[in-house]
Amino acid sequence: MIAESAIREPLVTGGKTVHDVTEDISGRVEQKPTKTWMLAMAVSLATLAVGGYAVMRLVWDGIGMWGLNKTVGWAWDITNFVWWVGIGHAGTLISAILLLFRQRWRMSINRAAEAMTIFAVICAAMFPVLHMGRPWLGFYWALPLPNTFGSLWVNFNSPLLWDVFAISTYFSVSLVFWYIGLIPDFATIRDRATNKISAAVYGALSFGWDGAAKTWSRYETVALILAGLATPLVLSVHTIVSFDFATSVIPGWHTTIFPPYFVAGAIFSGFAMVLTLLIITRRVYKLEDYITLQHIELMNIVIIITGSIVGIAYITEFFIAWYSGVEAEQYAFINRATGPYAWAYWSMMTCNVISPQLFWRKKIRTNIAATFVISIIVNIGMWFERFVIIVTSLHRDFLPSSWAMFYPKWADVGVYIFTFGLFFTLFFAFAKFFPVINMAEVKSIVKATGEKKQA
Amino acid sequence: MKETKKYWKGLEQLKNSAEFQEKANKEFPEYLPIADGEEPSRRDFLKLMGFGIAAVSLAACETPVKKAIPYVKKPVAVDPTLPNYYASTYVSGSDYCSVVVKTREGRPIKLEGNKLSSFSGGGTSSQVEASVLSLYDQERLQNPTIDGKKATWEELDAAVTKELTAVNGRLTIVTNSISSPATQSSIDALVSKYGAKHVSYDQVSFSGLLSAYETAFGSRMLPLHDFSKAKTIVSFGADFLGAYPNHTGNNKQFASTRKLDSKKKDMSRLYAFESNLSLTGANADYRTPIKASQEGLYVANLYNAIAKKLGGASVNVAKVGDDAVLMKAANDLVKSRNNSIVVSGSNDVNVQLMVIAINNLLGAYGTTIDTNRAVNLRKGNDASFEQFVKGLNSGSVAGVIFYNCNPVYDHPLGGQIAAGLGKAKFALSTAGKTDETSSLVKYQAPDNHYLESWNDFEPVTGSYSLSQPAIKNIFDTRQAQASFLAWSGDNTPIYDYIRASWETNVFSKANELSFDAFWDKCLHDGVYEVEVPTTEVAANVDVSVAGASIAKTYKADNTGLELVLYENNSVGNGAQANNPWLQEMPDPITKATWDNYLTVSPKQAEEWGIKIGDMSTQKVNFTANGITEEIPVLPQPGQAYGTVGLAIGYGRTKGGKVADGIGINAYQFATVANGIVNFAVTSGVSAEPTGTDYKIAQTQTHHTYMGRETVIQETVLSKYQKDAQAGRSFPQIATSEGMKKPYAVSLWKGHEYPNHHWGMMIDLNSCTGCGSCTISCQTENNIPVVGKEEVLNRREMHWIRIDRYYSSDAEEGDLAGMEKAAANPEVTFQPMMCQQCNNAPCETVCPVAATTHSSEGLNQMTYNRCIGTRYCANNCPYKVRRFNWFKYHDNKQFATNTAMNNDLGKMVLNPDVTVRARGVMEKCTFCVQRIQSGKLEAKRDGRRPKDGEVTAACASSCPSEALVFGDMKDPNSRISQMLQIKQNEKSVEAREPRAYHVLEELRVMPNIWYLTKVRNKDVESKTEKAEA
């Protein structure tokens, strides 16, 4: 049994009982879809369709549909990939690391955050496949499968191959972790189901959950093991993604600071995305009692910390470029700040380094509207960070004869939109058909903290 | 005789009874056992049915159509998969090059320079390389036509003979300069039969120079210039390296004076005075931008300076403003007397006379200029051509035959010719394609492509060459010479005619015994040279007359805008404008493709308020010669302020699907006055910015090398003479044990090369930037053309590019300033292709191991393994990898890629090289197919490959021999000797002091070495500026 101090602020407000929790959360699944939801879903599907056309043209006609060129071989594709992977960091961090640290405030947000993680990773995974010249072969040639090509094997030296392993491992573990957490809640919905179809569907989804003490005990053990497994992954995935750049020779990419800097950036953007989504969800689903201002404030603090880490990393890069004495590297960084893509660099600096510092003021970090705006700004900034790293480093590297600009084409935008369509379609489907808050876990904090205060 | 053994199939056959014989001849020995008279049984039905179905279905199986028809009788020389080489001669209009044609399965697929030709020097030019694709141009005329309708040769001959008789005495034959004796005699036959006149012109007229020599030496000629003997060369707007008769030969000669090694530490010095930045100007040690209106004064001032030193009458002309460089040139010319050359591109007789006077004073005649040997590639006479145009319009010329020329397009009087043609009773063109001129004539008698023709040439007195067909004519065309003979009543087959011509013209002068053996030898070698008797003719120039005329014509201070037309090194004079390889070849100077534009000085562009962006510019309403056109502007460092340049060869209207609508026809702006075509228009030129935006597709948009010494390493001759390592940069890597050479630090174990280790040496001093390597590589390696849109998207596919860097005036550290080229920059050309790194950054990052290292030092690319992540291209520090963004073959969207989008065009593809699919990466392979075939050849003979046997396409085409390819494992190979290669355990080291690796500090250890650029300047330009 968890002992909780009596004077600690309750994690769930509004004097919710265990029954209220079940009603509030299951109710969303059981009720008919609201008009708002229908509209949101329709917009998401439309976005998906529009983006799908861009994807179709890309695969049909070739990568030339994008604005890439002989000098800049990656731009929006890998920017979006890293951005989505970064976003996909918060969920597992919240569920796994905060679970290990016994941060119980995570309980009412981890479900949505994990779902977001999984959908973001799905979106991210689109890009490594779509950016290939020949995805119809690449999607399986990049795997170390036994083949009939003789002794032909993948190149284990290539960071892209490490990406394949890192992302797929992270995705599998996150998915299993998330799903295991869902099982007791599915069982609740199954038990409450009034029609046969939902009884059957949720029955199947709940894997025959019987609520026995032994089952609960196993459930908690598995959750802990998975948390243990997922924790290093949170750190490793973005470390490995950063190797794509760090192990190369391109000035601006070839930096050893990348792993910690990328991980901090990922958490930074992941938390911002969680905030963006939760602020909407809590409003629409009236979950203010579960996702409280305290949650928002704590997450904003994480944002200040990671945002500051990222800011220090930016400055360190400049210092190291100067200190290295490498001409091309020094130029790469001067060019970032003063070259033709300076606007992107300063957008990044403003969004990522300056805007989160506003959260030092309690007024701002406890203001929902301000949090919402800044969370979006942070994600814009983090997109620019990847764009700056990828495009400005490539566009002026060693030989000035090859220096070139990158201009996006409609298909660059289209494929990015496609992933938004995909993400929101999945997220809204999740919000409607899955319990958005972990009922089983939240019930444990209702008891622990709600009781005394009420009295 | 012993009886041979016989085998029999059965006793029946042994007995050979009558019954057996009868049955043996039948399809079914016994009738199917269907009982006669009885009711057919069920079994009989099934038997018949079964046979019927089997027979019908077998008969229904169509024999597969086999397009590859095996030889019934194999031709002696043609072996599938093995190439054959035939010596021949490239000819296009007035241009010439001695070549070797590579054919595969009877198709010409590649041209190489003929190393035996002392005249063209064994290299090629981009236009020569590209001409093999023009052979497979689908838009070539496929048969003779009368009034645009298909006709047979018999019909055409009958009609033409009748017409020719009707216009007897009033016929003119218009040609470019003819350097072929047989062609000339076939024209002469026509001339004598019909009392015709023969008028020739050149797209870029040399009429002024020819007339000047006529005045001074009594013979209208362009004498042979030998740049290899020159120590000081001064060029006044003569682009002898880029656009000049026989510029391939000139390149070789010039480069030979620029090569440096431990034994030869001296080189020539080149001065250029010109308006446009030409290839020659870009290679000059001292270049002065001058206005065209000053050119005569500069020449005359130089004459005065030299005359003062060497004793000669001076002329009375105005002084030019800043003449420090001119005086320096005069000093150098005098110092290297007898080893000096002065050339001018002017078409003004008086300027050329003045140049003759200078050369005469300098003792150039008999040393560097040989008046006994005339270059027959430029013979056009502007005055007689003008007369012809007048005659055409007045009606005195009733009939005209155009021999492979297109004056309606490429002569300033084209418009008048077009108008006059309507009045002519008879007009015929032998052009192989419908062009601006031939579309206006009644009769089209298409000539063969030169690769389908027999011909002979005498490009320069005493040097002969042959042309032999490398393929039977693809279409129903006939050699123009044969047509001329037919119309003049001579039905000798053309082969016999050429042979006979060779016998009279060459064999008679040669000291050989049998003509048959001589012919075979000449056909094999392609060239033959005879001794030319030397006679000394003194130049006779009245400088005072020429000087007076110059003083009148030229001004030191013309304030008006001036236009100077030029011929670029890609599309050239426009004859091959329908060749997409040439259209997409970057201009060596501007690096622009698919366009012409006004080159203006950056200062001028600024004054006009032209908004210049990343490949975007604006147009101006440009007026010259009374004609106004809207033309885009390209800021060109080095362009003389107050002048603009415009390339000829563009603005075709009936050039073909590729050529039409690209750029503006510049010929129309040239003026014709006093019987002289003038490409420099010094009055009546104006430009009015219109604000219309335009995009020019350039392959390089950043023009300075930003002071990066690991990219370009250069010095001046005086420093090099003191220290052979002058200008070198030695990057050092800091380690815990102190500073180390980059190669001492490595994560990699290195590769062992047990057999060969291929490498290349590129001499930045010899490379003139002409770009023939780019097209040679394109031909050899099936590189697609992507079109202007895609070049704008920066997706051109060339595997070898020539980086062209301008110097900058900015202080080191001023990064923004260093991006701007100097007003009159020094130019460095750096051929750049895959560096075949030993520690290749591309190899480690490919997830599927599609790019790997070979045991011979090559960085290999496996197309069918590539999944197209482009990581390798990103990680390539030299940015030489090219991605197939789209499907470039069999795709209507890339119709301009004619070599891959129609059946005829595809015949040019090299069967040894894969046509790459969409979505895969490609890059320079070091011509691995040539390496393989060279090794196989050697293996077949049971020996090791000989040095020089295997060479990359770029190196073999290089007219200046700046690229040397070879096996660094072979201590006696040219490359090992030149680089002084030292074998280490797992790497090689070049001990040649000038040899360096681009981006050495990255430790990628390329197999390509560059030799420092050495300018023959007294002091470095930086010091020069500081002193000033």
Number of residue pairs across A and B with CB atoms under 8 Å? 177
Residue A60 lies in a domain: yes
Residue of A nearest to B881 (CA): A70
Residue B73 lies in a domain: no
Distance CA B651, CA B629 (A): 11
Q: Is A3 in the B-facing interface, judged by CB distances under 8 Å? A: no
B592 near B246, Cβ under 8 Å? no
- Nearest by CB: A160 against B845, B886, B1001: B845
Give every CB contact of residue B633 below 8 A, 6+ residues apart in sequence: B597, B598, B600, B605, B608, B610, B617, B618, B619, B620, B687
- Nearest by CB: A397 against B849, B877, B1001: B877
Q: Is B739 in the A-facing interface, judged by CB distances under 8 Å? A: no
Domain boundary among B675, B698, B721: B698
Examine the domain organization and report whether B614 and B742 are in the same domain.
no
Q: Which residues of chain B have pLDDT under 70?
A: 1-4, 27-38, 40, 62-70, 1021-1028
Residue B544 lies in a domain: no
Phi first, then psi, for residue B97 (nearest 5°) are -160, 135
Residue of A nearest to B704 (CA): A400
Torsion A364-A370-A375-A376 (CA) sign = negative
In sequence order, what are the beta bridge partners of B433? B140
pLDDT score at A452 = 47
Q: Is A154 in the B-facing interface, judged by CB distances under 8 Å? A: yes
Q: Which residues of chain A have pLDDT under 70?
A: 1-8, 149, 447-455
For residue A394, the distance in angstroms to the closest alpha carbon of chain B comes to 7
Residue B745 lies in a domain: yes
Q: Is A145 in the B-facing interface, judged by CB distances under 8 Å? A: no
Q: Is A143 in the B-facing interface, judged by CB distances under 8 Å? A: no
Element (H, E) at B318: none
Residue B23 lies in a domain: yes
Which residues between 371 and 410 in chain A have a beta carbon less than 8 angstroms from any beta carbon of chain B?
A: 394, 396-405
Examine the domain organization and report whether B683 and B587 are in the same domain.
yes
Residue B21 lies in a domain: yes
Where helices occur in B433-536 by DSSP H, the ranges are: 480-487, 494-502, 515-525
Examine the domain organization and report whether B635 and B736 are in the same domain.
no
Residue B995 lies in a domain: yes
Domain boundary among B19, B39, B60: B60
For residue A207, the distance in angstroms to the closest alpha carbon of chain B comes to 39
Residue B984 lies in a domain: yes
Distance CA B790, CA B907 (A): 24
Residue A8 lies in a domain: no
CATH number, domain at A326?
1.20.1630.10
What's the pLDDT tens digit per position in B182-203?
999 999 999 999 999 999 999 9
A42 near A33, Cβ under 8 Å? no
CATH number, domain at B574?
2.40.40.20
- Whole domain around residue A436: which residue ranges? 18-143+155-449
Examine the domain organization and report whether B575 and B634 are in the same domain.
yes
Q: Is A331 in the B-facing interface, judged by CB distances under 8 Å? A: yes
Distance CA B287, CA B824 (A): 8
Interface TM-score (ipTM) > 0.85:
yes
Examine the domain organization and report whether B740 and B681 are in the same domain.
no
Distance CA A68, CA B874 (A): 11
Distance CA B524, CA B465 (A): 11
Q: Is A150 in the B-facing interface, judged by CB distances under 8 Å? A: no
Tell me whether residues B870 and A74 touch, CB distance under 8 A.
yes
For residue A419, the distance in angstroms to the closest alpha carbon of chain B comes to 19
From chain A, pick out residues whose CB is under 8 angstroms from the CB of B844: 155, 157-158, 247
Q: How far is CA B76 from CA B84, B106, B523, B673, in A?
A: 11, 12, 17, 58
Examine the domain organization and report whether B240 and B359 are in the same domain.
yes
Give every CB contact of residue B352 below 8 A, 6+ residues apart in sequence: B208, B209, B211, B212, B213, B344, B346
pLDDT score at B62 = 65
Distance CA B83, CA B76 (A): 13
What is the DSSP-derived secondary structure letter of residue B649? S
From chain A, pick out residues whose CB is under 8 angstroms from the CB of B816: 338
Tell me whether residues A61 and B886 touch, CB distance under 8 A.
yes
Which residue type occupies B408?
Answer: V
Q: Hey, how many other C-beta atoms are within 10 angstroms of the C-beta on B308?
A: 12
- Whole domain around residue B690: which residue ranges? 559-698
What's the pLDDT tens digit per position in B524-564?
999 998 888 888 888 888 888 889 999 998 988 888 999 99
Count of helices and strands (H, E) across chain A: 19, 0
pLDDT score at A4 = 57
Model confidence, pTM: 0.90
Angle at B175 between CA B174 and CA B176, to 5 degrees: 145
Distance CA B603, CA B824 (A): 11
Q: Is B500 in the A-facing interface, judged by CB distances under 8 Å? A: no
Distance CA B248, CA B254 (A): 10
Residue A335 lies in a domain: yes
Distance CA B326, CA B289 (A): 12
B999 near B711, Cβ under 8 Å? yes
Distance CA B629, CA B619 (A): 10
Ramachandran sector of residue B204 (left: φ over 0; alpha: ψ -120 to 50; beta: rest) = beta
Q: Hey, how many other C-beta atoms are within 10 angstroms of the C-beta on B863?
A: 14
Examine the domain organization and report whether B686 and B740 are in the same domain.
no
Tell me whether residues B841 and A73 touch, CB distance under 8 A.
no
For residue A180, the distance in angstroms to the closest alpha carbon of chain B comes to 33
Tell me whether residues A70 and B883 touch, CB distance under 8 A.
yes
Place of tokens 């070979």: B854
Tell me whether residues B877 and A399 touch, CB distance under 8 A.
yes
Examine the domain organization and report whether B609 and B663 are in the same domain.
yes
Residue of B nearest to A324 (CA): B734
Examine the domain organization and report whether B690 and B737 are in the same domain.
no
Tell me whether residues A138 and B869 touch, CB distance under 8 A.
yes
Return the SS3 of B682: strand
Tell me whether residues B706 and A62 touch, CB distance under 8 A.
no
Residue B189 lies in a domain: no
Overall number of domains in chain A: 1
What's the pLDDT tens digit per position in B777-825?
999 999 999 999 999 999 999 999 999 999 998 888 888 888 899 999 9
DSSP sequence for A224-252: HHHHHHHHHHHHHHHHHHHHHHHTS-STT
Tell me whether residues B702 and A250 touch, CB distance under 8 A.
no
- Nearest by CB: B919 against A68, A134, A327: A134
- Nearest by CB: B999 against A62, A160, A398: A398
Q: Is B405 in the A-facing interface, judged by CB distances under 8 Å? A: no
Token reading at B483: 């047509």
- Nearest by CB: B887 against A62, A398, A400: A62
Distance CA B385, CA B401 (A): 14
CATH number, domain at B748?
3.30.70.20
- Nearest by CB: A249 against B841, B866, B868: B841
Examine the domain organization and report whether B281 and B241 are in the same domain.
yes
Q: Is A327 in the B-facing interface, judged by CB distances under 8 Å? A: yes
Examine the domain organization and report whether B663 and B563 are in the same domain.
yes
Element (H, E) at B141: none
Tell me whether residues B869 and A328 touch, CB distance under 8 A.
no
Neighbour-count burial of B172, counting CB atoms closer than 10 A to its CB (0-12 exposed, 13-18 middle, 19+ buried)? buried
Which residues between 854 and 873 in chain B have a beta carbon less than 8 angstroms from any beta carbon of chain A?
A: 865-871, 873
Overall number of domains in chain B: 4
What's the pLDDT tens digit per position in B339-378?
999 999 999 999 999 999 999 999 999 899 999 999 999 9
pLDDT score at A334 = 93
Distance CA A87, CA A265 (A): 9
Examine the domain organization and report whether B355 and B238 are in the same domain.
yes
Domain boundary among B323, B349, B374: B374
B100 near B114, Cβ under 8 Å? yes
Q: Is A334 in the B-facing interface, judged by CB distances under 8 Å? A: yes
Torsion A132-A133-A138-A142 (CA) sign = negative
From chain A, pick out residues whose CB is under 8 angstroms from the CB of B1004: 249
Total residues found in chain B within this entry: 1028
Distance CA B999, CA B1006 (A): 9
Return the SS3 of B411: coil
